[in-house]
Amino acid sequence: GGDHTITYPILQALAAKHGAVGLVHVDAHTDTGDTALGERLYHGSPFRRCVEEGLLDCGRVVQIGIRGSSYDPDPNKYCREQGFRVVPAEECWMKSLEPLMREVRAQMGDRPMYISFDIDGLDPAYAPGTGTPEIAGLTPAQALEIIRGCKGLNIVGCDLVEVAPMYDVSGNTALLGANLLFEMLCVLPGVKTL
């Protein structure tokens, strides 16, 4: 996908079919801003717009890898007020995320859910090719633990956004992004893997 704005119309379509969905959202940012330069729809606002339209089952929203500077002294307040579970990156440092994903699986239950993965959720040492990199992010192994931890859930869709290959002459960000998309396809319901 392009920037994270793309998730908003996708969730509109999915909610029209399934009702409000759960969300596993991997990102450096919560993307719940209200406006930027007077615009209500931009890459930092899609999940606020989704909340306003009732597209998300807010008690089944988990945001993983959140970090970075902010203009607000409590940048995750809006998310917590909506009932989102916010997992800051520092809670993920130097450990396996399998225990977290067991909790997420229980939280999602068997109802429809969506995976939205912003490549900047990963540390820019692994994925520098993005427009808003933030240091001290997740590792590729943790990304796999998150995605593979969703196997068996009622996944109705997924995306990978914010890959900007022109910012990474090595091509590693695009390679990582392609592999993460492959992993997401492998955990979709009905897909048989070895």
What string of pLDDT tens digits covers the 194 residues of the chain? 689 999 999 999 999 999 999 999 999 999 999 999 999 999 999 999 999 999 999 999 999 999 998 888 899 999 999 999 999 999 999 999 999 999 999 999 999 999 999 999 999 999 999 999 999 999 999 999 999 999 999 999 999 999 999 999 999 999 999 999 999 999 999 999 87
Measured between alpha carbons, how far is residue 24 from residues 40, 61, 79, 143, 167 in Å? 23, 6, 13, 12, 26
Question: What is the model's pLDDT at position 1?
Answer: 60
Question: What is the model's pLDDT at position 116?
Answer: 98
Class of domain 20-29+57-187: alpha beta
Rounded-to-integer distance, Cα 191 and Cα 18, Å:
20
Which of helix, strand or coil describes residue 178?
Answer: helix
Sign of the alpha-carbon dihedral angle for 129, 133, 136, 138: negative
Whether the Cβ atoms of residue 57 and residue 22 lie closer than 8 Å to each other:
yes
Question: What is the model's pLDDT at position 71?
Answer: 82
Q: What is the CA radius of gyration of the chain?
A: 15
What pTM does this model have? 0.97
Question: What is the model's pLDDT at position 194?
Answer: 78
